[in-house]
Chains A and B, each alone.
Chain A
């Protein structure tokens, strides 16, 4: 583990990284007899781009699901803003300011891009069901505010031209971007991206990388991502956690990870006992 001050550190490109936002302490997650995550600890700091990498089946997505509150680990604690987070339901986690995208796109296919992104604002809507239905007073005002926020996100991700297009008609790369838009619309403090570049061509990957960096830069959003493309991970992230067979085999800056023997073994293969 790298040692750094509790107040944060400064990255190579001069960005200030803040205090610990979320900390995993000795997390173990089991599905029946299968151990998906074995005694893993690491932290995520405010404003950083944190990557979780590892070979297939290493437990990365499970880890993300633990962070997002979808799975509850049998052992260990999740600290969020310095406090132990109890077992929450996913919507409660969302209310805490954590948003995510999915490995297999989970959008409402029949709805327009705009409506899909609007769903990201749900946690910010306070008006009651009746008020929403008759669309008067608070509900109307809220709708305006939320629509404005959504339009800012649309502008940010440059998807103005597909605003009214049903999601089902979009190509894969754009769907991924719409998913990111929905997560951003929630104005999260922590954004979880599950393989944001999977299945993309080089150009789409470049676009997505640019957007991820811009989100971090523009809104100061902390980002945790899982990704297979090593080039992307090494270029984007400030710190990387490497998992293999549910274990943490490395944690540090991209440079440290590149030179970590355990990581090299995991990726290039080594004879197992």
Chain B
């Protein structure tokens, strides 16, 4: 267990005495090239330029601990030297698995310094998924966070390409393990420091040898449709993209961000390393996944990033707590939120509003919005993004109306994340913005979105067929999403996954995501999967949100013993049916998509889970898989039965399997304009 507070201070001073461990020469070379060609080069620049400003913070033992850029550079140097003494070679693949911690971020750059290629993996992946990725990239080294990850890697090591060494951060529980090929990071760093005379020159030479077109990192796609593919990104991809987008949003070296999204996700890499190294801002790591909300409040990031799911959860929590508040507070909340909804977005965009509206908004800020933002940890947010999936307009507007500059971003791992983003002042819930700097867009004849940019990936690892399918000779990449560019504004609008958009029997358009997002706006609905392609009408699987529905059940004296029982409760069904019918009314209003109204639905007896393969690790629904797995339920939705018995295999967190059985009720929902449909 690490005991030192502010570890690395002494070493940082030491490093200050001799700052040119290859860095100076390198910086000169890079300046001559009018740019920095690798992340280690940027690190050397930052150590010089921002030396004493914070680069990383992590909450440990209840106290925020800080590492400056100078200290960070020293830590990374020690790691890189340690890796050299372990025998890491240029071109080796190094898997990195664990929760967001400074030392893991450092290990990425240390691996690059040596000339090897970092491959971050999803830490919550079950052993089987991990085996696929480890084997696919042929990882020779693995850097992990703790015992849990060590165990998983040991479990699959027979099935994968030879792993030479494994390095862990947290020694807890690992004392009795065989340490012939297992090392603690502290030991590796100490070894690196001790061996610096032997390897210093070699390390400097290796950093110098890095070119703009060398591989920077390999990220695995989340795999909505099949096995994850390794996306190879070059230094050019990462640095150009980080530079362009940092300038687009005027990021500053004094900004703070909270790193809590999976390290294996391209977004986290580009924000917490790419942009952070380019701009020199500080990356803050929470104490543990459970303390994320508290840590968010304590740090108060100025640059914040979250998938829609996080914003949904936060909003749900606010609403639940408001329901428990006194009547006066509820009234105050209602009045001011209504006002914010009306004028808030305009004020945020700098548009003029009447004096009285402005005054009332300021009052609201004093009583409601300010304290609310403080509770949520959003007081200081200057640039906020949501991406990964479409966000419900109501959720989006809620945050913007209370003065949080939340914008949308559309991207892909293959593009180094950024494809389009919304400029300040042009933010709307229904578009994903204009092309990011350097990105060209085109829409193919069948409506699919293509892009070309400096961020476009090099290739899929060991998969030329897929590479050719996705990227053409001119560098245009297919997104797999259907969309169109608005003629007057130039904003891109995404309709749905191109593969998911289909037609109903009668030829009307079917876009499941559109309806699902409307459903998911209701705090009580966590996830929805809508079916209807090549069928006569649409149906849906619904997942209830246990927090919201549980709270509602408590207030209404509805007793339940388990998720399954609550999900099947008639009162819950009645409530969900009301939601579905409201959505139908709103869907019916859209001329083009009025066929997507939900005729029948059921509430699933289990939460869709990535461990069961129903969601990707980034929590997107794997539609085809769900369709197959719950085939019996889907059939029942269409054959008119009123209930269906089903058995489902579930995987527990430790990888064991179990089976749950249930008889699910199937419920009909009223649809709008039914007669018109019948007449057609």
Contact = CB atoms under 8 A, between A and B. Distances in A.
Given A160-B287, A160-B291, A151 B176 contact: no
A255 interface: no
Contacts of A160: 59, 62, 287-288, 290-291
Nearest to A164: B294
B61 A148 contact: yes
A156 B62 CA distance: 12
A22 to B, nearest CB: 25
Contacts of A163: 62
B357 interface: no
Contacts of A152: 1, 3, 61
A163 B288 CA distance: 12
A156 B172 contact: yes
A161 B291 contact: yes
A135 B600 CA distance: 67
B430 interface: no
Residue with the highest number of chain A CB atoms closer than 10 Å, among B3, B61, B287:
B61
Contacts of B294: 161
Given A160-B287, A160-B291, A154 B176 contact: no
Interface string A214-233: 10011000000000000000
A217 B290 contact: no
A206 B59 CA distance: 27
Contacts of A171: none
A75 interface: no
A273 interface: no
A13 interface: yes
Contact of A161 (B1, B172, B288): B288
A155 interface: yes
B288 A151 contact: no
A214 B654 CA distance: 18
Contact residues on A (Cβ < 8 Å of other chain), bracket: 10 to 19
B175 interface: yes
B260 to A, nearest CB: 13
Contacts of A83: none
A148 B63 CA distance: 10
Interface in B62-87: 62-63
A154 B291 CA distance: 13
Interface in A68-84: none
Contacts of B350: none
A152 B63 CA distance: 11
Interface string A186-206: 000000000000000000001
Given A152-B1, A161-B288, A14 B60 contact: no
B62 A154 contact: yes
B60 A155 contact: yes
A109 interface: no
B674 interface: no
B175 A217 contact: yes
A108 to B, nearest CB: 20
Contact of A218 (B172, B288, B291, B654): B172
A256 interface: no
Contacts of B654: 206
B173 interface: yes
B546 to A, nearest CB: 15
Interface string B276-300: 0000000000011011001000000
A126 B288 CA distance: 33
Nearest to B175: A217
Interface string A145-182: 00110011011101011010000000000000000000
Contact of A151 (B62, B175, B290, B291): B62
Contacts of B291: 160-161
A154 B61 CA distance: 8
Contacts of A217: 173, 175-176
Contacts of B3: 152
Nearest to A158: B288
Nearest to A155: B61
A214 B173 contact: yes
A151 B291 CA distance: 14
Nearest to A210: B173
Q: Select the residue from B3, B59, B62, B294 with max chain A CB neighbours within 10 A.
A: B62
B60 to A, nearest CB: 7
Interface string A129-153: 0000000000000000001100110
B176 A161 contact: no
B62 A214 contact: no
Interface string B1-28: 1010000000000000000000000000
Contacts of A147: 62
Contacts of A214: 172-173
A150 to B, nearest CB: 9
A151 B61 CA distance: 5
Contacts of B290: 160-161
Interface in A239-255: none
Contacts of B176: 13-15, 217
Nearest to B170: A155
Nearest to B63: A151
Interface string A78-121: 00000000000000000000000000000000000000000000
A237 B6 CA distance: 39
A217 B1 CA distance: 13
B408 to A, nearest CB: 30
A136 B59 CA distance: 27
Contacts of A148: 61
Interface string B141-166: 00000000000000000000000000
Nearest to A162: B290
A206 B654 CA distance: 11
A160 B60 CA distance: 9
Contacts of B288: 158, 160-161
A15 B59 CA distance: 34
A17 to B, nearest CB: 14
A147 B61 CA distance: 9
A159 to B, nearest CB: 9
Contacts of B173: 210, 214, 217-218
Nearest to B291: A161
Nearest to A15: B176
A206 B653 CA distance: 12
Contacts of B172: 156, 214, 218
A201 to B, nearest CB: 12
Nearest to A214: B173
Interface string B289-333: 011001000000000000000000000000000000000000000
B251 to A, nearest CB: 30
Contacts of B175: 217-218
A131 B470 CA distance: 72
B302 to A, nearest CB: 24
Task: Count chain B CB atoms within 10 A of each CB in A156, A210, A218 and give the residue with the most.
Answer: A218
A147 B173 CA distance: 23
Nearest to A206: B654
Nearest to A161: B290
Contacts of B287: 160-161
Contacts of A161: 287-288, 290-291, 294
Nearest to A153: B61
A209 to B, nearest CB: 12
A53 B59 CA distance: 41
30 contacts: A13-B176, A14-B176, A147-B62, A148-B61, A151-B62, A151-B63, A154-B61, A154-B62, A155-B1, A155-B60, A156-B1, A158-B288, A160-B59, A160-B62, A160-B288, A160-B290, A160-B291, A161-B287, A161-B288, A161-B291, A161-B294, A163-B62, A214-B172, A214-B173, A217-B175, A217-B176, A218-B1, A218-B172, A218-B173, A218-B175
8 pairs of A and B residues whose beta carbons are closest in the complex: A161-B290, A151-B61, A161-B291, A151-B62, A160-B287, A160-B291, A160-B288, A214-B173
Interface of B: 1, 3, 59-63, 172-173, 175-176, 287-288, 290-291, 294, 654
Given A161-B291, A161-B294, A218-B172, 7 more contacts: A13-B176, A155-B61, A156-B172, A160-B290, A161-B288, A217-B173, A217-B176
